[in-house]
Structure 1
Amino acid sequence: MSRTTALALTMASALTLAACAPSQNDTPAENGGNETSNETGDAGAAGGGDPVKVGIIYSETGPLAAYGKQFKEGLEAGLDYATEGSGEVEGQAIELTYRDDAGNPDTAVAAAKDLIGQDYKIMGGTVVSGIAVAMAEQAAQNEILYISGPAATDAVTGINDYTFRSGRQSLQDVATAAAFLPEDGGKIVVLAQDNAFGQGNFAAVQAVLGGEGAEVESVLVPEDATEFTSFARQVVDADPDLIFVAWAGASAGNMWQSLDQQSVFDAAPVVTGLADSATFAAYGPAADKISFLNHYFPGAVDTEANKALVEHVEEAGGTPDLFTVDGFVMGQMIVQAVAEGDPTDVNSMVDALAGWEFEGPKGPMSIRESDHALIQPMFTVKLNQDGDAWVPELIETVSGEDTAPPEASGR
């Protein structure tokens, strides 16, 4: 892989499905996320051996607390499913200790060091990409098993021998967009903000879809822009076959309105990432004109694992959403590591996960042995209005093979 391509793939870590959506009204907790919680999961009952202690560091508070809640609910559902309701693996209880990262890498690392000092050999969690990278560094330094959660940064894949992921990565989001392209590749225009996020998305589309033969151009918008008519016209005038939108922040609503007013949706399919259900209504009248890339929504699949996910979360009073699945898969991975490895021997647990093929809520999944990428199906979706609500509808399931990221070479 050339240094230019490697840089592009690194920049691609800026893309997340959540960030492509209109901004949410998440408010950081008043305590600034400095407090942590220590909680034992339901699996803490005494079994035939010492409990297997697992440290879970996630956003209980902070800007992404809503995503942290989804992840935690999914994790507990996944552990329940993978242990057939016992919370134990061969008589050993899986004991979860939760710590709040509050969206802050320093807070997360401090919590990780504390738990590692207490001889925790398995760590998991976080919805924040910067925290996932910091946690991966701790895993390598201390030789413990770390499973990243919903954090989409590509940097986690292949970072070291001790790090895995239970969610998708940004390059899989971009690869899913190929489902909307003509067979000959065609021309893609990336509409994005002129900042690291937008430039990273442009680089990712160039690396992934440009690498498959598509012609890729960009329309980059100043981050402080409030009027988008001229940029919308630039997109139309470029005569694209596909329009890839990467946008984050409070200006998203006005941006989508301008695209609609300038008939951008008549020029070519417009693709962006579908975030969690709280954002569905924020696209406004343009919602049913957008083609969405999607990591997960509860109605996308009809697998045994997904039925168990939905049932467990709803019975507990929650609602399955975008990142619930990443927690569920982490539960499956923890049980696999303990069942097929030795919870006192980290290398044996690493070996138990590398190359593992299994059925997750989304369907067939596998952990690529060479770099620990999680190969998984992805989805294309549209939103339909049902009264005052917007409901996702599956267009196509894109196989894990077709969305597999390029092999990372960092390890």
Structure 2
Amino acid sequence: MDRRSLAGRLCDRLRAAAVVALGGMAFAGCVPSEPLTIGFVGSTSGRSADLGIAGRDAVQLAVEQRNQAGGVGGRQVRLLLRDDEQNPEVARRVLRELIDQGAVAIVGPMTSAMAMAVVPIANQARVLLVSPTVSTDELTALDDHFFRVNTATLDNAGRVAQFLLEQQGTRRLVAVYDTGNRSFTESWLAGFQAAYQQGGGELVQRIGFASGGETAFLTIAREALATPAEGILILANATDTALLSQQIRKLDSRLPITASGWAASDRLIEVGGKAVEGLTLVQDFDRNSGAPRYQEFRRLYGERFHREPDAAAVNAFDAGNVILDALAGRREPQQGVKEAILAVRQFEGLQEPIGFDTFGDVRRKLFVTVVRDGRFALVR
């Protein structure tokens, strides 16, 4: 046997041994699987930052818990975070970044205006968005790549109208709303007005304003109070609702103020102080729920972030776990997250089961709350 032939056969054997060794390592789990990537997009800066920060932190907690429990199918989960700055152009850019970096699903966005900006991109890429807080009816009953774990506007606005008519006896209202999130505020107002008028109420004036550092809330308050009414309805983020309430209280200390669930964060009370005492709003979240899963989440969230969770946090944690549970239950690796969710439909939430319809919409319990002694309290 010549030397060249012997050397060739030895090389062949070494190559074969290397292939067997690598195969054995993979079989034994020595070669780590690539992580699954999901994203989060929400406003974590600016006047709506309280909503986005609560959502971001809750999703981080959901992913951390899942990874500590072994991940999804043995694969760790990578979470990519993006701030949309409550700016449509930024929202579109950061969503494309998440898709380009391999996100298979995304929690968010957190406001209706941002959802309207980015849903077409998600539809084109076939990457599912699961929003914790977007409620505009413009995205209801559509076969698209947008799902949500909160109640849509029509149910929420109708519940507010019912409360004002039946429990407060308020029949003449002035509405003040943020035009920067008009896909939510105008949709909410339309649903509210229909239910309110049907019950004998009248929306006597609508005042729009653009949220920002130069917003003249005293001027808005004067305009709102210039029309004889029995109450004021504010559709704005927590900071703007608090600032406007302060100006209203300087001019009239007794007129009832009602807000939408968009303002239902601790930021409302922190900024508004005594001016928001007695303010009422409706949300799909019970701060006093005794559900064991919620109580455990509340404890862990408080330990991790040193504050109480609000509706945005609870819904974001649920949204994140819907995605993670759907990924874990996929029939095959190629199955899309949307299809995986619709194959199950029913998921366990922190306070109640989350049941999706064919279009990815849900209906949840609604709770009327009032600010009392610096806290949100349920109206029984």
Q: TM-score normalised to the size of structure 1?
A: 0.68
Identify which of 241, 252, 269 aligns with 2:245: 252
Alpha-carbon deviation of 1:278? 1.9
Shifted more, 222-231 versus 300-309: the winner is 222-231
Alpha-carbon deviation of 1:334? 1.0
Counterparts in 2 of 1:346-365, with a 5 A limit? Answer: 346-347=335-336, 349-353=338-342, 356-365=345-354
Distance change (3 Å), C-alpha of 1:176 and 1:57: same
**AA paired with 2:97?**
D
Higher strand share: 1
User: Which residues of structure 2 form unaligned runs of 5+?
Assistant: 1-29, 210-215
Alpha-carbon deviation of 1:328? 0.4
Q: Which has the larger radius of gyration?
A: 2
1:146 equivalenced with 2:129 (yes/no): yes
> Residues 308-328 of structure 1: CA distance to partner in whole angstroms, max 9, x if unpaired?
221221221332234111220
1:204 equivalenced with 2:195 (yes/no): no
Measure the CA separation in 2 of the matches of 1:284 and 1:63. Answer: 17
Identify which of 205, 208, 218 aligns with 1:219: 205
Identify which of 316, 323, 345 aligns with 2:304: 316
Q: Provide the residue aligned with 1:77 in structure 2.
A: 61
Counterparts in 2 of 1:67-146, with a 5 A limit? Answer: 67-79=51-63, 83=66, 85-86=68-69, 88-146=71-129
Alpha-carbon deviation of 1:164? 0.8
User: Which residues of structure 1 form unaligned runs of 5+?
Assistant: 1-45, 397-411
SS at match of 2:141: coil
Equivalent pair of 1:149/1:167 in contact (CA under 8 Å): yes
Measure the CA separation in 2 of the matches of 1:227 and 1:339. Answer: 50
Alpha-carbon deviation of 1:372? 1.4
**AA paired with 2:246?**
G
Q: Provide the residue aligned with 1:53 in structure 2.
A: 37
Counterparts in 2 of 1:171-250, with a 5 A limit? Answer: 171-181=154-164, 188-193=171-176, 196=179, 201-210=188-197, 213-221=199-207, 226=219, 228=221, 231-232=224-225, 234-236=227-229, 243=231, 245-248=233-236, 249=240, 250=243
1:326 equivalenced with 2:310 (yes/no): no
SS at match of 1:89: coil
Q: Percent identity?
A: 20
The root-mean-square deviation of aligned C-alpha atoms, in Å, is 3.5
Equivalent pair of 2:280/2:368 in contact (CA under 8 Å): yes
> Residues 139-186 of structure 1: CA distance to partner in whole angstroms, max 9, x if unpaired?
211112221233343333334332211344433431331452556997
Alpha-carbon deviation of 1:234? 4.2
SS at match of 2:157: helix
**AA paired with 1:58?**
G
Alpha-carbon deviation of 1:233? 7.0
Q: Provide the residue aligned with 1:23 in structure 2.
A: none
Measure the CA separation in 2 of the matches of 1:152 and 1:88. Answer: 30
SS at match of 1:363: coil
Q: Provide the residue aligned with 2:362 in structure 1.
A: 374
Alpha-carbon deviation of 1:60? 3.8
Identify which of 271, 288, 294 aligns with 1:306: 294
Distance change (3 Å), C-alpha of 1:133 and 1:175: same
SS at match of 1:147: strand
Q: Provide the residue aligned with 1:264 in structure 2.
A: 255
Distance change (3 Å), C-alpha of 1:57 and 1:73: same
Alpha-carbon deviation of 1:377? 1.8
- If asked which structure has higher relative contact order (CA below 8 Å, sep 6+), I would say 1
Measure the CA separation in 1 of the matches of 2:119 and 2:208. Answer: 34
SS at match of 2:353: strand
Higher helix share: 2
Equivalent pair of 2:136/2:187 in contact (CA under 8 Å): no
Alpha-carbon deviation of 1:351? 4.3
SS at match of 2:113: helix
1:392 equivalenced with 2:376 (yes/no): yes
> Residues 206-253 of structure 1: CA distance to partner in whole angstroms, max 9, x if unpaired?
234445x444332334756727568547444xxx6xx46125444432
> Residues 251-299 of structure 1: CA distance to partner in whole angstroms, max 9, x if unpaired?
4322244342xx434xxxx5323521122155454534333323436x3
Count of matched residue positions in the alignment of Structure 1 and Structure 2 = 333
Distance change (3 Å), C-alpha of 1:160 and 1:48: farther
Measure the CA separation in 2 of the matches of 1:259 and 1:200. Answer: 29
Equivalent pair of 2:57/2:313 in contact (CA under 8 Å): yes
Measure the CA separation in 1 of the matches of 2:368 and 2:165. Answer: 15
> Residues 36-64 of structure 1: CA distance to partner in whole angstroms, max 9, x if unpaired?
xxxxxxxxxx9974422112223343443
Alpha-carbon deviation of 1:348? 6.0
